[in-house]
């Protein structure tokens, strides 16, 4: 995962200007005698800090006790909600 | 052989005579249970299988069918004379229905945290307190890579009832911390975490409470140790009535002339629940002197952790390991303490020790797995989570983690199906939100920003308070050029989660681009507070300071 480093923006020279000599054309275009560097011709570097994303979340697993506790809390909640409505619903049908 | 033949009929004689009384006995039990049994809605009626009802109830208890056991016991108790054995068994069955291991129960209420009188030092030395996580002494992944919780600690791979408290430092933070797994409402005091008195009876015994505590004659029961122990557990775990439980335990331990270590441990548990930690410590130490038990060591360590003395607890565990070499719960306890003190490397070492002893220990596997994931080793993390799957763990969190590990380990064939399974297994909206959030990350990774946008929006649909999703949506909006929307989203994110450095840093960058240097500086300060080691924040602050110096 890439760290939050700034993105680089290279400023390359415009075509036809600049003081560099144009390299001579090769007889066979496939061969190279000098090693290639992508930074050749680079004049300046600007460090533009990018916005950072929040990281992906590994979800913690729950313990057996926690699962049982949640189950009990849910059952208690359901039992508490189930108790009042039947008493309210029983009255009207009698009339 | 002929001398051998006569013994056979002789053997058949006692065998036959033994069988004959047995048959009338079972026939006698059948009519006895038939009028009382009727047809219970759950399971076969007692006595139909030819078993004596009390034995039937005991068999249900052994097979952990507690409701059936309680029903059969109720039937036995309806007919006089009511047997003490049936009463005892029913008490134990009702307790087991709501029993949660007391060693794991550690719900701290806001009142306990803020009004804590047990702190010894005002400002503790680093590495000796659980409240100050320590300055990265463990050398784990930084917040640039690993998300942090509200208390400033990195999120762990495993959560227990006690890890949810998180020890916030201010009252405001304490109120904001979600306390229950299901709802975000804060629990105000310790009693709120437990099932409230009276509600357990609603779950286990819808017709009304089985034992009426106000009419119990505690001294009478204290003198019958076997009944008293079952009754104590019922009052403590089922009724959550600590005061009555303490009375019973005090009477019983006096009756036993202070020679029964079990009652000392129970009194210690009652004192712990009531917040009298020093008294609890004395009881547990006295029980340990009498009988060396692993459980007592665990309870005593819990007391020390509540008193914010992790080093004492560590020493206790290490001494315990000398007497109980290789005991998994003690090693696991040490690892947990190191993790709470933010010493991730030592924690990982001890979790590995746990796995040497017990290679199916879910907590150790999950914690080591998450450490590897955030140390940029998703393939190894994948192996650990796959092991959990092989063991039979089957829930939303595991499939989510498998999906993430598969994606970052470049096993793209398994990624989406794991996430689909995770969505299917999600039990509530918070879990669904988490899975959609991680799917958003996968979408960003493959470059499909429209999908990422939709995933983060779905996260917010399921959980409106998901700060990370707001932050990531802001980043996506910024890429489309909607600066004002991005700013609003970042505002929401930073107010929801002030402990995260990302929203503050992003606000700083945005404001600096626009030219609002003052706002940028305040945001950068907040970002530095949340994550002091962030290089980009430091560079930004340096730049801003140079600007201000020129002015």
Residue B482 lies in a domain: yes
Euclidean distance between CA atoms B364 and B120, whole angstroms = 32
- Domain co-membership, B544 together with B481: yes
ipTM: 0.78
Contacting residues of B for A86, CB less than 8 Å apart: none
**Contact B366/A60, CB-based, under 8 Å?**
yes
Question: Where does the pLDDT of residue B135 fall: very low under 50, low under 70, confident under 90, or very high at 90 and above?
Answer: low
Euclidean distance between CA atoms B277 and B268, whole angstroms = 9
Option in B401, B468, B509 nearest A49 (CB): B509
Give me the mean pLDDT over the B194-218 stretch: 71
- Domain co-membership, B418 together with B495: no
Higher pLDDT, B75 or B1: B75
- Nearest alpha-carbon partner for B221 in B238, B234, B237: B234
Q: Which two tokens stand for residue B368?
A: 């080591």
- Domain co-membership, B469 together with B546: yes
Q: What is each CA distance from B148 to A29, B293, B326, in whole angstroms?
A: 54, 36, 32
Question: Where does the pLDDT of residue B197 fall: very low under 50, low under 70, confident under 90, or very high at 90 and above?
Answer: low
CA distance A70 to chain B (A): 7
Model-wide pTM > 0.80: no
Q: Which two tokens stand for residue B418?
A: 């794991």
Q: What are the DSSP E strand ranges found in B161-219? A: none
**Contact A61/B158, CB-based, under 8 Å?**
yes
Say what the pLDDT of residue B125 is: 74
Option in B199, B374, B434 nearest A59 (CB): B434
Place of tokens 């989660």: B497
Contacting residues of B for A50, CB less than 8 Å apart: 509
CA distance B374 to chain A (A): 9
Euclidean distance between CA atoms B507 and B494, whole angstroms = 9
Contact B527/A at CB under 8 A: no
- Domain co-membership, B471 together with B537: yes
CA distance A60 to chain B (A): 4
Say what the pLDDT of residue A18 is: 46
Higher pLDDT, B500 or B43: B500
Place of tokens 């700083």: B508
Q: Which two tokens stand for residue B354?
A: 């746990």
Residue B499 lies in a domain: yes
Question: CB within 8 A of B448, min separation 6: which ones?
Answer: none
Euclidean distance between CA atoms B247 and B271, whole angstroms = 11
Euclidean distance between CA atoms B550 and B413, whole angstroms = 56
CA distance B64 to chain A (A): 15
Give me the mean pLDDT over the B285-309 stretch: 93
Residue B420 lies in a domain: yes
Lowest-confidence region among B101-115, B229-243, B356-370, B529-543: B101-115
Higher pLDDT, A3 or B271: B271
Question: Where does the pLDDT of residue B434 fall: very low under 50, low under 70, confident under 90, or very high at 90 and above?
Answer: very high
Say what the pLDDT of residue A69 is: 86
CA distance B533 to chain A (A): 12
B:455-484 residues touching chain A, CB 8 A cutoff: 467-468, 471-472, 474-475, 478
Contacting residues of A for B472, CB less than 8 Å apart: 53-54
Say what the pLDDT of residue B380 is: 97
Domain enclosing residue B77, as ranges: 53-97
Euclidean distance between CA atoms B343 and B139, whole angstroms = 7
Give me the mean pLDDT over the B508-516 stretch: 92
Euclidean distance between CA atoms B549 and B44, whole angstroms = 86
Count, residues in chain B: 551
Using one digit for the tens of pLDDT, what is the confidence trace for B152-164?
Answer: 677 788 888 776 4
Q: Is the Cβ–Cβ distance between A61 and B396 less than 8 Å?
A: no
Buried b (16+ CB within 10 A) or exposed e, A45-76: eeeebebbbbbbbbbbbbbebbebbbebbebb
- Element spanning B158, H or E: strand B158-159
Residue B152 lies in a domain: no
Question: CB within 8 A of B252, min separation 6: which ones?
Answer: B222, B225, B228, B232, B260, B263
Question: Where does the pLDDT of residue B271 fall: very low under 50, low under 70, confident under 90, or very high at 90 and above?
Answer: very high
**Contact B472/A74, CB-based, under 8 Å?**
no
**Contact B438/A57, CB-based, under 8 Å?**
yes
Give me the mean pLDDT over the B396-407 stretch: 96
What residues of chain A have any CB closer than 8 angstroms to a CB in chain B? 1, 3-6, 47, 49-63, 65-66, 68-70, 72-77, 79-80, 83
Residue B179 lies in a domain: no
Euclidean distance between CA atoms B37 and B380, whole angstroms = 58
**pLDDT surpasses 80 at B351:** yes
Say what the pLDDT of residue B62 is: 95
- Domain co-membership, B542 together with B518: yes
Kindly give the residue spans of alpha helices, DSSP state H, lying in A31-63.
none
**pLDDT surpasses 70 at B429:** yes
Give me the mean pLDDT over the B420-438 stretch: 95
Say what the pLDDT of residue A21 is: 54
Of B73, B97, B121, the domain-final residue? B97
Lowest-confidence region among B6-15, B373-382, B443-452, B513-522: B6-15
- Nearest alpha-carbon partner for B223 in B193, B187, B260: B260
- Domain co-membership, B444 together with B429: yes
Contacting residues of A for B144, CB less than 8 Å apart: 3-4
**pLDDT surpasses 50 at B290:** yes
Contacting residues of B for A6, CB less than 8 Å apart: 536
- Domain co-membership, B478 together with B450: no
**pLDDT surpasses 80 at B343:** yes
**Contact A56/B404, CB-based, under 8 Å?**
yes
What residue of B is the nearest CA neighbor of A64? B160
Say what the pLDDT of residue B180 is: 46
Say what the pLDDT of residue B14 is: 40
Contacting residues of A for B202, CB less than 8 Å apart: 76, 79-80, 83
- Domain co-membership, B88 together with B73: yes
Residue B434 lies in a domain: yes
Percent of chain B past pLDDT 90, that is, above it, reads 57
**pLDDT surpasses 90 at B445:** yes
Strand pairing report for B158-159 and A44-48: unpaired
CA B532 and chain centroid, separation: 31
Residue B343 lies in a domain: no
- Domain co-membership, B546 together with B469: yes
Question: CB within 8 A of B533, min separation 6: which ones?
Answer: B136, B142, B143, B144
Using one digit for the tens of pLDDT, what is the confidence trace for B24-37?
Answer: 444 334 434 444 44
Q: Is the Cβ–Cβ distance between B110 and B175 less than 8 Å?
A: yes
Contacting residues of B for A65, CB less than 8 Å apart: 100-101, 104-105, 160-161
- Domain co-membership, B507 together with B545: yes
Using one digit for the tens of pLDDT, what is the confidence trace for A81-94?
Answer: 887 665 554 444 44
3-state per-residue secondary structure call for B497-513: CCCCHHHHHHHHHHHHH
Residue B315 lies in a domain: no
- The 3-state DSSP class for residue A68 equals helix
- Nearest alpha-carbon partner for B159 in B370, B421, B374, B377: B370
Say what the pLDDT of residue B184 is: 37
Using one digit for the tens of pLDDT, what is the confidence trace for B372-401?
Answer: 999 999 999 999 999 999 999 999 999 999
Say what the pLDDT of residue B146 is: 85
Query: What's the CA dihedral at B270, B274, B277, B280 to 10 degrees?
Result: -20
Q: Which two tokens stand for residue B500?
A: 């995260």
Q: How many domains does chain B have?
A: 3
- Domain co-membership, B446 together with B404: yes
Contact B202/A at CB under 8 A: yes
Using one digit for the tens of pLDDT, what is the confidence trace for B89-118?
Answer: 999 999 998 888 888 777 666 666 666 666
Q: Is the Cβ–Cβ distance between B389 and B403 less than 8 Å?
A: no
* Residue B81, preceding peptide bond in cis (omega within 30° of 0): yes
- Domain co-membership, B448 together with B518: no
Q: Is the Cβ–Cβ distance between B29 and B47 less than 8 Å?
A: yes
Contact B94/A at CB under 8 A: no
Q: Is the Cβ–Cβ distance between B478 and B486 less than 8 Å?
A: yes
Euclidean distance between CA atoms A8 and A48, whole angstroms = 7
DSSP per-residue string spanning B66-132: HHHHHHHHHHHHHSSSPPHHHHHHHHHHHHHHT---TTT--PPPHHHHHT----S-SSPPTTS-SSS
In this structure, what CATH number is given to the domain that contains residue B428? 1.25.40.10
Say what the pLDDT of residue B181 is: 42
pLDDT tens, per residue, chain A with 95 residues:
444 444 444 445 455 444 455 555 656 666 667 787 877 777 776 666 789 999 999 999 998 888 888 888 888 888 888 876 655 544 444 44
């Amino acid at each position: 995962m890439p760290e939050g480093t700034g993105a680089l923006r290279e400023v390359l020279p415009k075509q036809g200007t600049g003081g560099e000599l144009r390299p001579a054309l090769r007889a066979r275009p496939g061969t190279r005698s000098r090693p290639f560097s992508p930074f050749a011709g680079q004049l300046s570097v600007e460090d533009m800090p990018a916005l950072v994303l929040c990281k992906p979340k590994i979800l913690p697993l729950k313990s057996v006790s926690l699962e049982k506790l949640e189950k009990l809390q849910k059952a208690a909640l359901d039992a508490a909600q189930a108790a009042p409505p039947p008493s309210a619903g029983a009255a009207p049908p009698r009339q | 052989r002929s001398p051998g033949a006569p013994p056979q009929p002789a053997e058949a004689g006692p065998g036959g005579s033994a069988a004959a009384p047995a048959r009338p006995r079972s026939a006698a039990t059948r009519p006895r249970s038939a009028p009382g049994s009727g047809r219970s809605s759950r399971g076969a009626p007692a006595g139909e299988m030819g078993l004596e009802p009390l034995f039937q109830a005991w068999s249900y208890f052994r097979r952990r069918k507690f409701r059936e056991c309680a029903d059969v016991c109720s039937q036995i108790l309806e007919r006089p004379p009511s047997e003490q054995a049936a009463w005892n068994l029913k008490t134990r069955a009702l307790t087991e229905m709501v029993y949660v291991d007391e060693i794991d129960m550690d719900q701290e209420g806001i009142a306990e945290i803020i009004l804590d009188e047990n702190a010894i030092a005002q400002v503790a030395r680093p590495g000796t307190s659980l409240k100050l996580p320590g300055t990265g002494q463990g050398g784990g992944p930084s917040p640039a890579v690993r998300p942090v919780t509200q208390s400033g600690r990195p999120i762990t791979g495993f959560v227990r009832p006690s890890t949810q408290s998180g020890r916030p430092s201010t009252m405001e933070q304490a109120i904001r911390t979600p306390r229950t797994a299901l709802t975000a409402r804060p629990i105000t005091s310790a009693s709120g975490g437990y099932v409230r008195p009276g509600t357990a009876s609603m779950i286990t015994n819808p017709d009304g409470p089985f034992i009426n505590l106000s009419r119990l004659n505690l001294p009478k029961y204290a003198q019958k140790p076997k009944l008293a122990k079952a009754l104590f557990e019922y009052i403590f775990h089922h009724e959550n009535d600590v005061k009555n439980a303490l009375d019973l335990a005090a009477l019983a331990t006096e009756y036993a002339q202070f020679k029964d270590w079990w009652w000392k441990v129970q009194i210690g548990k009652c004192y712990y629940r009531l917040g009298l930690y020093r008294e609890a410590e004395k009881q547990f130490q006295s029980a340990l002197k009498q009988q060396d038990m692993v459980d007592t060591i665990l309870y005593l360590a819990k007391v020390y952790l509540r008193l914010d003395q992790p080093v004492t607890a560590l020493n206790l565990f290490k001494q315990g390991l000398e007497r109980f070499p290789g005991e998994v719960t003690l090693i696991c306890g040490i690892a947990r303490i190191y993790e709470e003190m933010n010493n991730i490397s030592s924690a990982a070492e001890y979790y590995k020790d746990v796995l040497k002893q017990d290679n199916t220990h879910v907590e150790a596997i999950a914690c080591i797995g998450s450490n590897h994931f955030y140390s940029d080793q998703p393939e190894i993390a994948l192996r650990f989570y796959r092991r959990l799957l092989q063991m039979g763990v089957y829930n939303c969190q595991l499939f989510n983690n498998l999906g993430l590990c598969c994606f970052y380990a470049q096993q793209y064939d398994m990624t989406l199906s794991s996430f689909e399974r995770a969505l299917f297994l999600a039990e509530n909206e918070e879990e669904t939100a988490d899975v959609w959030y991680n799917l958003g990350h996968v979408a960003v990774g493959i470059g499909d920003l429209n999908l990422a946008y939709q995933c983060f929006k779905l996260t917010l649909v399921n959980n409106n308070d998901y700060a990370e999703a707001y932050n990531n949506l802001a980043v996506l909006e910024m890429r489309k050029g909607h600066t004002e929307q991005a700013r609003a989203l970042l505002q929401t994110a930073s107010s929801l989660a002030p402990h995260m450095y990302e929203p503050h840093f992003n606000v700083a960058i945005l404001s600096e681009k626009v030219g609002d240097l003052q706002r940028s500086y305040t945001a950068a300060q907040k970002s530095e507070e949340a994550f002091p080691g962030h290089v980009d924040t430091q560079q930004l602050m340096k730049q801003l300071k140079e600007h201000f110096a020129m002015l």
